[in-house]
Structure 1
Amino acid sequence: MRAHSLREAISLSLAAALLATSLFAAAQSSNADRPIRIVVPLAAGSTVDAVARAVAPAFGRATGHPVVVENVVGAGGIQGTAQIVKAPKDGLTLGMVSSNHVINPGIYKTIPYDSMKDITPIAVLATVPVVLVVNNALPVKSVKELLAYAKGNPGKLNYGSAGNGSVLHLAGELMVSETGIDMKHVPYRGTGPLITDLMGGQVQLAFVSISQVAPQIKAGTLRALAVSTPARSAALPEVPTMMESGVPRYSFDAWIALIGPAGLPKPVADSYAAAVQEALVSPEARNVITGQGLTVLNTGPDLAPAFLQSELVKHQKLVKQSGATLD
């Protein structure tokens, strides 16, 4: 009796999946000329926006649809993401999100969606390594010397970030957690003023994405001590990792992922993931990826959900530890 019920349940489940896929295929056929809208819940000019616009042409060629990238900003990405999760499940509205997607549930008391249950993870395209930089007035030339200085001068170091609960804030918070040093966090409204004050000495150190401080590192106006990732970055091959520098459990980077609303059939997510893979090797995308110092991951829909879930757990722990809140 149980075996019969199980077979019946499996048959119904398969039938439902096939029906969903066939309905989607019919919808796609009728929508063949309609564009795919990729919502970027961050400002134009951001790394996520640059990547979305770089992969859009080749992604469109692979899917057979024109692609329109649209920035919907507000509330740290919540407004744009709300549009993604509430969109029709016809595959014509997708979203390009960043690590903020798994940070926001901890720094905002309420958000109008569940960051995992209300999305279909399609692909994790790339990670965005960050680098620990210090201003030249600080008498340290390595992470080991920085930690010794911090322990000898508790509470005297200020580290800046792009804002409370930002990726750069949590990168610094992880260093505090892993080393036990005492530093003060100074939040800024974006990386532009942060870098200006970092060079001016108002803050002594910060974690910043490599592309945003590469000119200053090259010019010698900021000193790079370590990159955040387990492996060295091709953009700064001479700079050691935090792990190499004596912080063995330190591993941190931002990332960029393509998502859709919950309920997209798996064949659709698979086909879009394949289109992303094709787009990532296009000349348009390669130039941006190299220029931004990104590391291509291209984790597809089989592994992307577990990746995002693990990042959610990791970031929520850091948010709680930092005490960051935005409402």
Structure 2
Amino acid sequence: MRPSSLSTVFPAAEAATLTRRHALGALAAAGVLGGLPRLARAQGERAVRFILPVAAGSGVDTIMRASSQALGQALGQTVVLDNQPGAGGVVGTQALVKSPPDGLTLSVVSNNHVIYPSVLKSVPFDPVGDITPIAVMGSTPMVLVVNPKLPVKNLREFVALLHASPGRYNFASSGNGTILHLAAELFKDTTGSYSTHIPYRGFGPMMQDIVGGQVDWGVGALPAVQGQVKAGNLRALCVASPQRVAAAPEIPTAVEQGYPGFVVDGWFAVVGPKGLPPEQVRRVHQAFVTAFATPEVKEAMARQGNLINISTPEAAGAYFRSELQRYAALVKKAGVVPQ
């Protein structure tokens, strides 16, 4: 999980690409492709790169790796996942906005995308104006986890521990002002507790140090932490959802443990660079609808606990704007100082 960039190709072999080209040529000669859009035929021979502005193993990364093969089939193209974490997601997103709007470079972003303006003194792009919204895909539950050596079994015991020793315990996040940081700040505000914030450069290093005991607790997306929880390397004290999650029914909610204010989830959305043509937006949107409706992807999303509800491009744009305002208020309430 340490590398700053990780790419996965489906399929990777050049021979497969050559075979596909020969097959397309044969079909074209037979007139089979005559009814297909010319754009799709031209695109089909080139890979689509999805820049993920997160580290390998994080929520968005886990979701995309589970759906990439079906997505490639729906697009009729090779799909490449390119992890470019850093600065809470700014590094990867900056690479996206500098890309040509040709449908060959896209991205899947999370809540962090609309948090930037509130937590950074300077952002090298406009998170709304410099992208083309394609769809908000859905949401993923957040889980509060602790190192299992902490002498707590539930949320009430944990809050009591924090109250008994203010400042003794610390929490990790994937970066200052990220959704994982703000979720933890919301927990502190809801419970009236205090812990020292230790920001990391990405989810992987953060989670590694909670498991190792260098940091006491943190908040992570369910798909990204459930493996460590099942292995006993982390203890999950609650999900920050209104109701228990079918993928992890054994984890109680904060609400049922007496803390109704700790409700937050992570959403994920597919976007392109500014100026992506409408026909490309429609093509990519339909590919996601098709891929996420396949039995294998539906099963993977259910297993991870993700709730899929694919929006229209227009609704995605409106959602980005409303979330900008919501997180600006949360950042102000949490007292996060822009850096």
Fold shared, TM-score > 0.5 on shorter chain: yes
Partner deviation per Cα, 1:109-131 (whole Å, 9 max, x = no partner):
22221101221211122323221
Please name the residue that 2:187 is paired with. 175
| Structure 2 residue 216 is the aligned partner of structure 1 residue 204 | yes
Partner residue of 1:161 out of 173, 198, 209: 173
* Equivalent residue in structure 1 for 2:293, among 281, 286, 307: 281
- Of 58, 83, 88, which aligns to 1:76? 88
Question: Per-residue deviation at 1:213?
Answer: 3.4
| Amino acid corresponding to residue 96 of structure 1 in structure 2 | V
Number of equivalent positions: 302
Q: Which residue of 1 aligns with 2:79?
A: 67
Letter in 1 for 2:93: T
Cα distance in 2 for partners of 1:29, 1:216 equals 43
Q: TM-score, normalised by structure 2?
A: 0.75
Q: Distance in 2 between matches of 1:197 and 1:206?
A: 10
Query: What root-mean-square deviation, in Å, do the aligned CA atoms of Structure 1 and Structure 2 show?
Result: 3.1
1:184 aligned onto 2:196: yes
SS of residue in 1 equivalent to 2:253: coil
CA distance in 2, matches of 1:53, 1:248: 33
Q: Give the Cα separation in 2 of the matches to 1:261 and 1:306.
A: 17
SS of the aligned residue for 1:42 comes to: coil
Partner of 2:242: 230
Deviates further, 28-37 or 47-56: 28-37
Spell out, residue by residue over 1:249-273, the C-alpha distance to the aligned partner (whole angstroms, 9 max, x if none).
3221222210012334555434422
Q: What's 2:254 paired with? A: 242
Which runs of 5 or more structure 1 residues have no equivalent in the other structure? 1-24
Following superposition, the deviation at residue 276 of structure 1 comes to 0.4
- Measured against aligned partners, the alpha-carbon deviations of 1:29-75 in whole angstroms (never above 9, x if no partner) come to 76564443322233445442343344333334334444333344444
* SS, match of residue 310 in structure 2: strand
> More displaced, 247-256 or 316-325?
316-325
Q: In 1, Cα distance between the equivalents of 2:78 and 2:170?
A: 47
Q: Gaps spanning 5+ residues in structure 2: where? A: 1-36
Q: Is the 8 A contact 2:145 2:220 kept in 1?
A: yes
With the length of structure 1 as denominator, give the TM-score of the two structures: 0.77
Note the alpha carbon deviations across 1:209-249, whole angstroms, 9 max, x for none. Answer: 33443344334453322101223222211212222222223
Hey, what does 1:89 align to over in structure 2? 101
| Alignment partners' CA distance in 2, 1:74 and 1:55 | 24
1:176-212: CA deviation from partner (whole Å, max 9, x where unpaired): 2223222222234444554454355543322123344
Q: Which residue does the alignment assign to 1:8?
A: none
* Correspondences of 1:111-122 after superposition (within 5 Å): 111-122=123-134
SS of 1:117 mapped into structure 2: coil
Between the aligned residues of both structures, percent identity stands at 44
Are the aligned partners of 1:229 and 1:251 in contact in 2 as well (CA < 8 Å)?
A: yes
- Change in Cα spacing, 1:226 to 1:30, as seen in structure 2 (3 Å) is closer
3-state SS, counterpart of residue 302 of structure 1: helix
Answering whether residue 162 of structure 2 is matched by residue 150 of structure 1, we say yes
Partner of 1:308: 320
Name the CA shift for 1:83/1:200 in 2 (closer, same or farther; >3 Å). Answer: closer
